[in-house]
Amino acid sequence: MNGLLRKLFLALSRNQVLRQRLPRLPFMRRAVGRFMPGETAEDALRAASALGRTGIASEFTRLGENVTQPGEALAVAEHYLDLFGRIRDAGLDGEISVKPTQLGLDIDEDATFAHLDRLAGRAEETGSFLWLDMEDSTYVERTLALYERLRATHARTGICLQAYLRRTAADLERLMPLGPAVRLVKGAYDEPAEVAVGSKREVDTSFVALAVTALRAGRDGALRLGLGTHDTALVEQIAGHAAAAGIGRDAFEVQMLYGIRASEQRSLAAAGYRVRTLIAYGEAWYPWYMRRLAERPANVVFALRQLLP
């Protein structure tokens, strides 16, 4: 059943007609409010300030992807350049994550790199950090190439890797000489069997193996690791492997989405884990929200409740 729901919601995320119509419906706007504090940067900054008072750091992403005009990509870059300054001025421990297609990867790879280069420079100037988000498997190679170029001159940059892709172990090994920062996630796109493992058990096994490999490789500080998962059992399992290797739980960061398992996030922070919450905002939330529903049946139950008066 879970597999069917996943396929359904991933299909819905790609439907252009529904993308235009469903976000206008009141119940949809109520439901998405669980996962994002609002549509503006001001909303996101207020949420981050509240999280900071509980010892939880933040990461910001403005929703949207696959822009088709150079001017749109420039506007996104300018938005993030300004946001870096606003994070600094607010005194927040906040970082930024951006999708390369939001900066024009479908249009011009060199122009996309130029935008990323400016953003990475601004991250360094403000004492923050820039993450490259990972999109579906057709973008992986180009995103890795962008990161390799960027990391050559900008240390305060990281990249997302997806545990369900069969190639990810090789990709992690490929990045090791750079001393990278890696956010490891399970993966939320509908991928063919030849490029991705399918069962939850396989994905979980891959996630743990990749995390342990990264922790062992980075025990001397050569690699920063973020665990992008809401599965606290996996976090504890990875922490157990780390402890057996003499690595403390402060050697990695737990990165969860805003509004999901908030009490667990606070508990992890109180237990000595470093926790960072990804705060999404913006008007282009429909495909992102559908992928969140595809990830966990509990999210679907919550969404269905919004249909009730």
> Known catalytic residues?
133, 183
Asked if 65 and 104 touch (Cβ cutoff 8 Å), the reply is no
d(CA 39, CA 208): 34
Euclidean distance between CA atoms 179 and 224, whole angstroms: 8
C-alpha to C-alpha distance for 306 and 32, rounded to whole angstroms: 10
Measured between alpha carbons, how far is 214 from 198 in angstroms, rounded to an integer?
23
Among residues 174, 49, 181, the alpha carbon closest in space to that of 123 is found at 181
Report residue 227 CA to chain centroid gap: 10
Contact between 105 and 139 under an 8 Å Cβ cutoff? The reply is: yes
Return the SS3 of 68: coil
Decide: 135 and 159 in contact? Cβ < 8 Å: no
- Measured CA to CA, the distance from residue 213 to residue 219 in angstroms comes to 10
Instruction: Report helix angle 70-89 to 109-126, nearest 10.
Output: 10
In this structure, are residues 259 and 289 in contact, taking their beta carbons and an 8 Å threshold? no
Residue with tokens 């990867």: 105
* Percent of the chain that is helix, strand, coil (3-state, to 5): 55, 15, 30
